[in-house]
Amino acid sequence: GCVLVVSVIEQLAQWHNSTVKAAMERLCDYIPGNLCLCTISFSIDREMNADVVCHSLRLCKQDPGQPLCHLYSPPKVKKHSSGLFHALAHARPKRQIRSKIFMGFSSVCAFPPLANLCEKMKHVLRNKLPFEDFDGDKFSTFPTLRGYHWRGRDCDDKNTTVYPGRRPDNWDAKSDSNCNGIWGVDPKDGIPYEEKFCKGADSKGVVLLGDSAGAHFHIPPEWMTVTQMSAKSFANLPMAFSDELDWPQFSEVTGFLNSTIGGWTDSLYLRLRKRNRCNHRDLQNISQNGIRGRLIQEVRSGLARNQLLDNPAIVIYATIGNDVCNGERDTLAHMTTPKEMLSNVVQALRYLDSHLPNGSHVILTGLVDGRFLWDNLHDRYHPLGQLNKDITYSQLYSFLDCLQVSPCSGWLTPNETLRNLTSERALQLSNVLKEIARSEKFANFDIFYMDFPLRQTAEEWRKMGGEPWQLIEPVDGFHPSQIAAALGTGITWQKALHEWPQVLGKENPFNDQIEAIFKDQGGH
């Protein structure tokens, strides 16, 4: 954290030809509200990159027996001396610290403006449920903190029997019990609109059980690219943090808003809604950053589906990388085994079978081949290194690995053998999912398998004139980008249309009439 912030401050001073103090004040002016946590002054000479500054301030440290972690190449010094150690020895006497130093990053929640938000975040992370949910039906009228960015917006948060995805109460003649915006009685014939337009329409919702890719993890590159940085760059920072740096409202499965983070939004939910307007708001994104194949706890606490009262659902089960990804030194030993994968997934499917309405569907998605990441990014410059051409993704990956916080030590490494072994394990786990889909039978849903469509996505993007690296999130160098998410939706949809048409349901012939009558009531 220190290296990141100091790098931005140093680059702001360079770009605007200002002092470090002025650059820091500029950064704090950019950040909304009272979220700027530090006032710090330090002298800089040509030996003092952000690594040197942060170690000299003792905000970064070297544990006994561990390597000295650094993001930048060590400063060049005289022969026979170690660059970074030499720079540290000469930097410490020069450091100047005024006012408050960086607040300890581990105690950031003690900072008064953030204390309330931190308590809310702890609740949300612990329960995977909306923080603002007055009737306890797992749906909310509040967007973030696991609110309607993550699942359909509640239309009456004081009534536990009103929520997206339920079958209409008395055909919603008097009120909108399922929040799809269709209710009331046609004065011409006395028939409820919901009955007229949605009866027999094969309505169904979509539920994602996923990891950070499904939640759509994204750190805006403008936050660390000083040539693009302004107050506007950070306007979405409070929202981003209260959504765990995830953007499910733009995601591949449950996205419903126009993307504001580049690319465009195309999602399974939007296509289901276009196919049948009665599906409006019936979405749930039960994804979590860092989750592995053992999703049973998240399913139990987060799934909102009543087997008797609600419509069937299409459940996408997609943990595409974390079962082989970890930041451990011995990464192979900490990967999920095929035996563990089988047990974890079958356990979750049995729970789903006891809670999903009859006529539901489950699609198991295979793991990605993450060798794509190193192959397309390792020698490119990271946003933090674009100004001075001094940080490549290879350097970033090595820095995170040294700190033992790498999102995937097995793929984000120069070790080709390790990258191949990681992909080999990913393929083994995908084959487990494929065999489950082939052999397991359940009472309330049928089950399908599809490979993660990375190769097809890359081919489609090349045809559009794009480059493969643009399919990867630029800041973390690990997650699928907004472009990849949108293209992946189209590929998945076409596969379902041709191979599993029963999953998508019928096209509703009344869609235009519904939009004409309820266009003012059906907004998200």
- The domain that contains 379 carries what CATH number? 3.40.50.1110
Within a domain: 122: no
The whole-chain average pLDDT of the chain stands at 91
Residue ranges with strand state E in 411-484: 445-450
Buried b (16+ CB within 10 A) or exposed e, 397-431: bbbbbeeeebbbbbbbbeeeebbebbbebbebbbe
pLDDT value of position 212: 96
Catalytic residues: 212
Tracing tokens 């931190």 back to the chain, one arrives at 118
Residues 88 and 209 placed together within one structural domain of the fold: no
Residue pair 457/325 in contact (Cβ under 8 Å)? The answer is no
Are 462 and 468 in contact by the 8 Å Cβ rule? The answer is yes
What is residue 260's predicted lDDT score, i.e. its pLDDT? 95
- pLDDT at position 93: 43
In a domain, 521, yes or no: no
- At 518, give phi and psi (nearest 5°): -115, 20
| Predicted pLDDT at 191 | 97
pTM: 0.93
Alpha-carbon gap, residue 449 to 362, rounded angstroms:
9
| Cα dihedral 55/59/63/67 (nearest 10) | -40
pLDDT at 74: 84
Residue 171 lies in a domain: no
End-to-end CA distance of the chain: 36
Residue-wise pLDDT tens digits, 24-34: 999 999 998 76
* pLDDT per residue as tens digits for the range 312-365: 999 999 999 999 999 999 999 999 999 999 999 999 999 999 999 999 999 999
φ, ψ of residue 284 to 5 degrees: the values are -145, 125
List CB contacts of 116: < 8 A, sequence separation 6 or more: none
Q: Assign 3-state DSSP to the chain and report helix, strand, coil percentages, each to 5.
A: 45, 10, 50
Do 221 and 85 fall into the same domain?
A: no
Nearest Cα residue to 324 out of 398, 413, 394, 402: 413
Is 127 part of any domain?
no
For residue 57, the enclosing domain spans 1-71+81-92
Residue 328 lies in a domain: yes
In a domain, 55, yes or no: yes
Q: Same structural domain for residues 344 and 479?
A: yes
Number of domains in the chain: 2
* Low-confidence residues of the chain: pLDDT under 50: 80-81, 93-106, 522-524
Could you tell me if residue 167 is inside a domain?
no
- Domain membership of residue 260 (yes or no) is yes
CA distance 521 to 250: 22
Residue 58 is predicted with a pLDDT of 86
- 221 in the same domain as 85: no
